[in-house]
Amino acid sequence: MASIYIYGSCVSRDSFDFIDKTEHRLLGYTARQSLISAVSKPYLASADSGSLESQFQLRNLQGDFDGSLLDILSELAPETDYIFWDLTDERLGLIKIDEYTFITKSVELVQSGLLGRIKDYEWIKFGTEEHLELWQEAVRALADFAKSNLPNTKIVLINLPWALLDENGRPLEKTWELLPDEANNLLAKYAAVIRNHLDVYDIEMSWDKATASSNHKWGLAPYHYQDAVYEQVIEQFNQLTLRQAATVSYSLTDLPDPAGHEPWRDAADNLGEFHLALRAASFGIHFEARSSLPAGRNMLVALTLEGADDMSLSDARIMKSGMASIGHFRYLEIESGQRSYFAGFRLPVGVTCSSVKVMGWQIEAGQVEIRNLRLATSRDAI
């Protein structure tokens, strides 16, 4: 029987509900604890001095104050086969106590009333340059820890995008001040740091498959998915474990890629066009890119729009090109290296889109490549 420890949010915990419990057991669960908090100096405070009553919330908050994650993983290392890890709780940001002490700006911290007792604290928001720099340091610290303490444990990064739409095709609003594509582009940067420093199993899903559930037990949110999403997570995990167990009977090349990656294509070539049978007002583009160029506007999404008033499109970050072959468009900022990219579109009332084209912009052959290009929209619009 394989033993699994969960570090992250309900994304990992809800996925575990769909696993075969006769073959896997849950060792424990650390939630609401940013990795940056986990590797920083402990914050010497007592969670039960606040107003929280839930034992689960108290345990999470005290664990965050203590930075308990690495101690727990070290203690459980001999019996831990896998760690399920997702980054959803990183969205909460950090409270900087001093130069060496950080805690997570969790719901539990706010509800406890203890945040108000901290003098001269600084809120470091997720996605800021300072937060990303701290994240890089924290991942390096985790990599050093894993090398010394987790030699036989596999880390499984459950890297699901925030959903653009629910199962009824309705677009999701901002959550934690972020639209789904904004959150996904930030999370892709954080995941890229992990891959640069840690050997992880990646569980990924294209944006068109990651659909939110309006009937989820925790309520509607871009990280509360339909059951089929969690089932796919476990299916990919099962394939990964099969690859790990590959011996003389078959080689890894005989097994399918769990994430279903496609071959790389040159972004300087014609990448094709999506045609929408029913005119859509809410949709998104998702792909993975690798670039040898410095960060810049090296790609764009061209749109064929109907009913467009150019003045009303500025809030949707859409411009009008003077080139007839492009029409309306949005630039995509592509960074050096490899990661996923997301572009979400929510058009003004009365404006619809009939086709979407992704293309390289002012680049030469071989400079930018993409794969797994997908259109995310309501199923009846394709």
What is d(CA 369, CA 264) in angstroms, rounded to the nearest whole number?
Answer: 6
Evaluate whether 2-254 and 265-381 have a shared fold: no
pTM of the entire structure? 0.92
CATH number of 2-254: 3.40.50.1110
pLDDT at residue number 238: 95
Confidence of residue 259 (pLDDT cuts 50, 70, 90): low
| Least confidently predicted of 58-62, 98-102, 224-228, 376-380 | 376-380
Average pLDDT, the chain: 93
What is the phi/psi pair of residue 186, to 5°? -70, -45
pLDDT at residue number 324: 86
CATH number of 265-381: 2.60.120
Domain boundaries, the chain: 2-254, 265-381
pLDDT at 248 over 50: no
Confidence of residue 254 (pLDDT cuts 50, 70, 90): very low
**Alpha-carbon distances of 230 from 31, 89, 185, 235, 286, rounded to whole Å:** 18, 18, 22, 9, 20
Confidence of residue 279 (pLDDT cuts 50, 70, 90): confident
H-helix or E-strand spanning residue 72 = helix 69-76
